[in-house]
Structures are given as structure tokens and as C-alpha cells.
Amino acid sequence: MQSEYMHWAKFKAPVRYSLTGSEVPHVRMDTLPWAIADLDLDGASHPRYRPLVEAIARRADVPPEQVVTADGTSMANMLAMAALIKPGDEVLVEHPAYEPLLAAVSFLGARIARFERRSEDGFRLDPGAVDAALTDDTRLVVLTNLHNPSGSIASEDQLATVGALARARGARVLVDEVYLDAATPRPRSAVHLGPEFVTTNSLTKVYGLSGLRCGWVLAEPVLAERIWRLNDLFVVNRAHADERLACIAFAHLGEVLGDSPALLRRNREAFNRFLASRDDLESTPAIHGLTAFPRWTGGDTKRLDARLHERYDTAVVPGHWFELPEHFRIGFGEPAEDFAEGLSRLGAALDDLK
């Protein structure tokens, strides 16, 4: 089993104006106050490095016993799933979904069932749809918040209802929260809603520190210990220099964020103006997050992406990667000038194809 989407994302043809990204501009660690001696590069082994665990716990407002560190959100998701499901189990996953989540479930040998997040409802989380799809065989419900690809935010009430439904069936709920900190105001993690919730996050998408691969799982303590023990199969100890750099980042998180929230707000506003000017795109306005997932009335967006590449040195993510070919994902993390130019070129390509 492999992720076809991740292979495409890593090796797609480069363009000057890429609207495919789903993270803020990368942050240079050398802009923060630290010295090489702070990395403690003595070759020592640091299992379950306590300062990093405690930094994550403070940020998430949970006890350190609920924190497991991981190499990014993707590995955090894999570890959580591997601790929660076994071959033949039923896993209920949102539709549309981020393809690597589906690939991980399949790799672990589970059966995939689906519940809908409907385009006409702005891809909101509907507990009724979850309830209708749950069965006595469901062991895990998997969703993203903010939703990937649409950026739709789920309320605590919606999440709590899903948690109660899952608990009644003896299931857990895994929430990938890698985009959650791009919501305004920043919500608390769903792990606070009950022991049935397991959440994942990282310093990647919202913080521009994807090179550190600093991710984590939040879970009730017994499950967290199981995940730590499982991680021993894959990682004896994480790269300690990365752990030290992550601690430095947590100590200066305001500086790491910088003007990224303002940049995302400006680009979302620009996207909303663009959306209002088009009669061939359908979408709710972008309010939170780093991505939107509009529908193009012209059909399969692979055709749109091909035109953008051929004539406009620009790209979007075609919707077939998220199981809805008439949609496309657009990211708000580019510098404002580049984003505005990318929108202009997107508009020209749409006009070509009318």
C-alpha cells in the first residue's frame, strides 16, 4: 500500500505561482535567539524527551502523560491508528478525505466505511451523517478539523456529539488537527472532550516549521503509553537536535507565527473577492484555515490544472485527489503578491475554458 497523492505532491512539475501549498511560508530558525551549543549535540540518547513533551503539554493544556511525540502529523496519525485498529476492523472516515489517511487505514488492513461532508452544506461536520454510518463493527472514526480540503471548522458541540455516538458503539474518534491553529480564535483540542478522542498535530502547516518534523499525539494516558511503546518499533529515539530546536520554537511561538495569521487573513479575503466575481465557481466563503475547496461548474478540474500549467505557470490541486473531481483545493499560504497573481492567472484559465 502506498499514497499516490503524496507521491504526486512531492514530485509534481514545479510552477511559478503554486496555489497547491497547504502551509504558511517556511520560518528560518536562525531568526530566533539561540546558539549552536543549545542543541546539546553530544550524541546522547533522550527517550521521551521530557522538555519537549512538557512544551507540547503546555501548549495543548493537557497533562504530559497525554502527550506522545512523533515525526510530524502523518506519523502521529499512523501511530494512533496502529494502536487503535487491527486487520479486519471497520474504520469510518469522512468523505471527502485527505488521501494519506485512507492509505494508512488500508495499510493497516482495516475495512473503510464512509460518512459524507456535503459540499452544499459547506462540508460541515454533520453528526447525523456519522450516526447513520456507524455500525457495531466500527472501531474508529477518522476526521480532520479544520477539514482538509475545505477548511470547514467543526464546533465543540458537533465533535462532542460525534464522540458520544462513537462511545456508545465502543469506538474512538481520531481528529487530525494539523490546521486547527489557523482558526480564529484558536480552539482547544478535541482531546478535552473525553477519553474517546485522540488528536494529532504538529509544528508544520500553521507554523512553517515542516523541516523539524515535530508532531504529536494527544490521548488518554493508558492509550498514550501504548502508542509510546508502539513507536519503539519505528524510532528508537528521535533526532535530539530536532527536539531541542522544537523546544526553542515553542519558547518563541509568537515570533514563529509572526505575520502568518495576517497573511492568511489577507489571502482569504482576496479569495473571497475572487469567488464573488466568478459565476463558474461554487463555495462558501473562506473564514478559517489555509485551504478552500471550490466546485468548478466546468467539470473535471484536471482539465483546469492542465491549462494552468500549460499557459499560466500556475497550479491548483485537482479534486480527484480528494474524491470530488469537479472541485479543486487552493492554499492561502503563499506571499500575498504571489497569491494575488496566482488568482489572476486562475481567473484567466477559467475564462479560457468557458
Cis peptide before 96 (omega within 30 of 0): yes
Inform me whether the pLDDT recorded for 33 exceeds 70.
Answer: yes
Query: What pLDDT shows up at residue 235?
Result: 85
Inform me whether the pLDDT recorded for 237 exceeds 90.
Answer: no
Instruction: Give the chain's mean pLDDT.
Output: 96
Query: What pLDDT shows up at residue 46?
Result: 82
What is the Cα–Cα distance from 166 to 160, expressed in whole angstroms? 10
Q: Which of 7-11, 121-125, 128-132, 253-257 is least confident? A: 7-11
Q: What mean pLDDT comes out for the span 266-273?
A: 98
Q: What mean pLDDT comes out for the span 169-187?
A: 97
* Helix ranges (DSSP H) in the chain: 4-11, 50-60, 72-84, 99-107, 127-133, 156-168, 221-231, 240-251, 253-257, 260-276, 301-312, 336-352
Query: In this predicted model, what pLDDT tens digit does every residue of 283-338 receive, in sequence order?
Result: 999 999 999 999 999 999 999 999 999 999 999 999 999 999 999 999 999 999 99
Among positive and negative, which fits the CA dihedral 260, 265, 271, 277? negative
Inform me whether the pLDDT recorded for 44 exceeds 80.
Answer: no
| Pairing mode of beta strands 67-71, 17-18 | unpaired
Query: What pLDDT shows up at residue 41?
Result: 77
Contact 74, 99 (CB under 8 A): no
- Domains with residue ranges and CATH for the chain: 4-26+258-352 (3.90.1150.10), 41-251 (3.40.640.10)
Please report how many Cα atoms fall inside a 13 Å half-sphere around the Cα of residue 171, on the Cβ side: 26
Q: What mean pLDDT comes out for the span 174-191?
A: 96
Cell numbers representing residue 297 in the block:
461548474
Residue 175 pLDDT class (50, 70, 90 cuts): very high
Query: In this predicted model, what pLDDT tens digit does every residue of 51-75 receive, in sequence order?
Result: 999 999 999 999 999 999 999 999 9
Inform me whether the pLDDT recorded for 122 exceeds 70.
Answer: yes
Q: What mean pLDDT comes out for the span 238-261?
A: 94
Query: What pLDDT shows up at residue 135?
Result: 97
Q: What mean pLDDT comes out for the span 131-154?
A: 98
Which has the closest alpha carbon to 73: 101, 41, 50, 92?
101
With H, G, I as helix, E, B as strand and everything else as coil, classify residue 248: helix
Q: What mean pLDDT comes out for the span 345-353?
A: 98
What is the Cα–Cα distance from 210 to 204, expressed in whole angstroms? 4
Q: Which of 110-119, 179-188, 227-236 is least confident? A: 227-236
Q: What mean pLDDT comes out for the span 121-140?
A: 98
Query: What pLDDT shows up at residue 43?
Result: 66
What is the Cα–Cα distance from 325 to 20, expressed in whole angstroms? 15
| Beta strands across the sheet bearing 328-331 | 291-292, 328-331, 317-318
With H, G, I as helix, E, B as strand and everything else as coil, classify residue 153: coil
Q: What mean pLDDT comes out for the span 86-98?
A: 98
The model's pTM is: 0.96
